Amino acid sequence: MATASTLCIIGSSNTDMVVRAEHLPAPGETVMGGTFLMNPGGKGANQAVAAARLGGQVQFVTKVGNDLFGRQAIEQFQREKIDTTYVLVDPDLPSGVALINVDARGENCIAVAPGANASLQAADVAPALAELPASALVLLQLEIPLDTVAAAIRQSHAQNLRVVLNPAPAQVLPPDLLQGLYLITPNETEAELLTGLPVRDEASARRAAEWLRQQGVDNVIITLGARGVYLLTNDVSRMISAPAVQAVDTTAAGDCFNGALVVALSEQLPLDEAAAFACRAAAISVTRLGAQASMPQRQEVDQVPFLAHPNS
C-alpha cells in the first residue's frame, strides 16, 4: 500500500558500459590504455537506487527489454528493496544501454541508446500514480518520452502529488510543463537551456531560478557541481555548499543528488536541509566509480558534517 512517504520514481533503466582513460577522445581519435566496467545505470534507475539505499520507500516505474540486461536490472532493483510492481517488460525492444567515457579528472561524455525506455507510455505510468495518496512525491527525468513525462505531471497535479522534475538530459521544455511543479533541479547547462540565461555563479543562478519561478515552478534548486547548489523558494534564497572531495567519477552525481533529495523531503525536512543532505550524498558518490555502484548508504551520509554557506 502506497503512503505519503512513498517515492514514485518514473524514468529510465540502462546498462552502462564504461571506459576509463587518461582523456576523453576527440572526434576521430582512439584513446588506448583504458579500463572497462559494465554497470547498471539509467537516470531513473540510478535515482531509485540512490533513494532506496538512503532509506526511501521507493516505487520505480520503468520499462526494460526481454533480454539479459532487463532481467539483471529487475533482479538488482529487488536486491535494493525497490518495489518493482511497475517495472514493465517490452516484448520487442531491447533494454537501454549507455556508452560512457570517463577521463582521469572524473569528467565524462555519454551516448545513450534508449531501447525499451522509449516505449514507456502514459498508460504504463497512470496505474502507479493512481495508487499514491495526496502529497506523495513523484520524481521524473527526461530519458523517457516527453509526452509520458507531461502526462505524468498532469495526472500528479490532478491528484495533488508533489512533482520533482530533474530536467536531464538537457532539452527545451514547453512552458506549460513547468507550471505547478513543486520543485525543479537543473544543473547549470540545463538551467541555461531552459531559461536562455547564462548560469556561472550565485547571482546568475538566482536570475535563472527567478525566471523558472515566474513560469509557475514553486521551488528551484540549481546544482553547481563542486560549489554546491543554489536554492530559491518563496522564503529562501541561498547557496548551500558541498563537501570538498577528490572526484573520481562524476557520472551519476546528479542522480544521487536527486534521489537523496526526495528521500529527505519524504522525511519532512525543509528544502534547505534536504538540499544539504543531498549535497553530502552526491559528494560521496563522485569519489567512486560507476553509477549505481557509487550510491552511498544512509549511515555514510549521516556521518558527513553539515556545511552551510558562509553567508547563510
Three-state SS annotation for the chain? CCCCCEEEEECCCEEEEEEECCCCCCCCCCCCCCEEEEEEECHHHHHHHHHHHCCCEEEEEEEEECCHHHHHHHHHHHHCCCECCCEEEECCCCCEEEEEEECCCCCEEEEEECHHHHHCCHHHHHHHHHCCCCCCEEEECCCCCHHHHHHHHHHHHHCCCEEEECCCCCCCCCHHHHCCCCEECCEHHHHHHHHCCCCCCHHHHHHHHHHHHHCCCCEEEEECHHHCEEEECCCCEEEECCCCCCCCCCCCHHHHHHHHHHHHHHCCCCHHHHHHHHHHHHHHHCCCCCCHHHCCCHHHHHCCCCCCCCCC
Sheet holding 96-102, edge to edge: 35-41, 14-20, 96-102, 108-113
Residue 212 reports pLDDT greater than 50:
yes
Of 164 and 309, the structure prediction assigns the larger pLDDT to 164
Whether the bond into 169 is cis, omega within 30 of 0: yes
Annotated binding residue at 249? yes
Is 205 within any annotated ligand binding site? no
Residue range 65-86, pLDDT digits in tens:
999 999 999 999 999 999 999 9
| Confidence class for position 111, pLDDT limits 50, 70, 90 | confident
Residue 81, annotated as binding a ligand: no
Closest residue by Cα to residue 77 from 61, 96, 94, 97: 61
Residue 311: per-residue pLDDT: 37
- Note the pLDDT tens digit of each residue in 249-273: 887 899 999 999 999 999 999 999 9
Average pLDDT, the chain: 93
Give percent above pLDDT 70 in the chain.
96
d(CA 171, CA 164): 16
Highest mean pLDDT among 272-281, 287-296, 300-309: 272-281
Q: Is 108 exposed, middle or buried (0-12, 13-18, 19+ CB in 10 A)?
A: middle
For 13-24, give one letter per residue: b (16+ CB within 10 A) or e.
bbbbebebbeeb
Tell me: pLDDT of 310 over 70: no
The residues that are catalytic are: 255
CATH superfamily of 6-25+32-302: Ribokinase (3.40.1190.20)
Q: Is 255 annotated as a binding residue?
A: yes
Instruction: Name the CA radius of gyration of the chain, rounded.
Output: 18
Please state the domain extents for the chain: 6-25+32-302
Would you say 79 is a known binding-site residue? no
Residue 56 has pLDDT above 50, yes or no: yes
294 is in an annotated binding site: yes
Q: What's the CA gap between 48 and 61, in Å, rounded?
A: 9
Q: Is 16 annotated as a binding residue?
A: yes
